[in-house]
Amino acid sequence: EGVGPQDYTCIKLKVLEFSPEAQAVLAGNKDIEGKQIFMVAATLRPETMYGQTNCFVGVDLKYGVFKTNKADELFLITERAARNMAYQNLSPSTGEVVKVADFVGRQLIGTQVKAPLSSYPSVYVLPMDGVLATKGTGVVTSVPSDSPDDYATVMDLKKKPDYYKIKAEWIASYEPIPIINTPTYGNLAAPTICAQMKINSQKDKTQLALAKEAVYKDGFYNGVMVIGDYSGKPVQEAKPLIRQTLIDTNQAVPYNE
Ligand code: A2H
């Protein structure tokens, strides 16, 4: 965790179809009628969004559906994030937090969402052990090509779908997508470093912290985009441009904490 405020990009993953458990929670709820609901994920790596393969929630975390500054859009995030957003012009009026539904993370598993820029037309909401209630929105978008944490978690889910109470097909055919090339780790940095360091699970926390640091720095300083409108451009150059495009096209919002 940094000492100063973090400039996040909050990616809006539109809910295409809620899981049956989530549908049961929302049944008869008049406040959501005719509205679009977005699971909103805070990221520091907007340039990697081409590689989203799924979305993560913490199974025991509490989430709410909140009104936003747009009448037809609702955000599914933690209450803590909704409070912060209410002071960043993202709620109906400054400081106003209006919750229209409650969820526990496990009810959302199996929900299908549209992840902006991803090569996959829809992706699933899946469980991750380490999602913190105290950071971002409590929703984490997963980019296994460039995030060792995401890659290790996806490996766990692929190996043990029953243990994690998911259907194998929610992740089995979603492979990491090359987004960034670096001289050190090639075009799939997270799978490469996890193999090198023999990281096998999201439980390998000490090793993952080292891997995360190494690929984050290498990607930022030495990475070149290999996908999208800025293919061939350095990450440092592409990152702010992709962030701004996502914001301008209403697929993301800026968020600090
Ligand atoms: B990052 P920092 Cl490709 N709990 O996005 C746990 N992790 C969370 C979180 C939460 N509540 N909210 C956000 N995050 C993750 C992409 C990514 C990220 C890549 C590579 C590295 C990386 C795709 N996942 O983060 O402590 C989000 O994952 C490595 C630092 O505020 C977010 O960016 O620095 C990052 O952690 C924010 O972590």
Write out pLDDT tens, residues 192-219.
999 999 999 999 999 999 999 999 999 9
122 assigned to some structural domain: yes
Placement of tokens 């809006």 in the chain? 12
257 assigned to some structural domain: no
Task: Give the whole-angstrom CA distance, residue 169 versus residue 15.
Answer: 18
142 assigned to some structural domain: yes
70 assigned to some structural domain: yes
Q: What is this model's ipTM?
A: 0.99
Ligand 1 atom closest to Cα of residue 51: 3
* Stated pTM of the model: 0.97
Dihedral over Cα of 65, 54, 233, 217: its sign: positive
Task: Give the whole-angstrom CA distance, residue 199 versus residue 90.
Answer: 39
Q: What is the Å distance from ligand 1's center to 129 Cα?
A: 13
CATH value at residue 121: 3.90.740.10
Q: Which residues pair with residue 74 across a beta bridge?
A: 37, 67
Using CB distances shorter than 6 Å, the residues near ligand 1 are 1, 6, 42-45, 48, 130-132, 135-136, 138, 140-143, 146-147, 150, 212, 216
Q: Which residues pair with residue 140 across a beta bridge?
A: 56
54 assigned to some structural domain: yes
Q: Does residue 225 have a pLDDT over 60?
A: yes
66 assigned to some structural domain: yes
Q: Does residue 3 have a pLDDT over 70?
A: no
What's the pLDDT band for 2 if we cut at 50, 70, 90? low
Residue whose CA is at the smallest distance from ligand 1 atom 1:
43
Q: Phi/psi zone of residue 15: left (φ > 0), alpha (ψ -120 to 50 degrees), beta?
A: beta
Phi, psi of 80 (to 5 degrees): -60, -45
Ligand 1 atom closest to Cα of residue 42: 13
Pairing label, strands 180-181, 139-142: unpaired
Number of domains in the chain: 1
Residue whose CA is at the smallest distance from ligand 1 atom 24:
142
Tokens, residue 186? 């090639």
102 assigned to some structural domain: yes
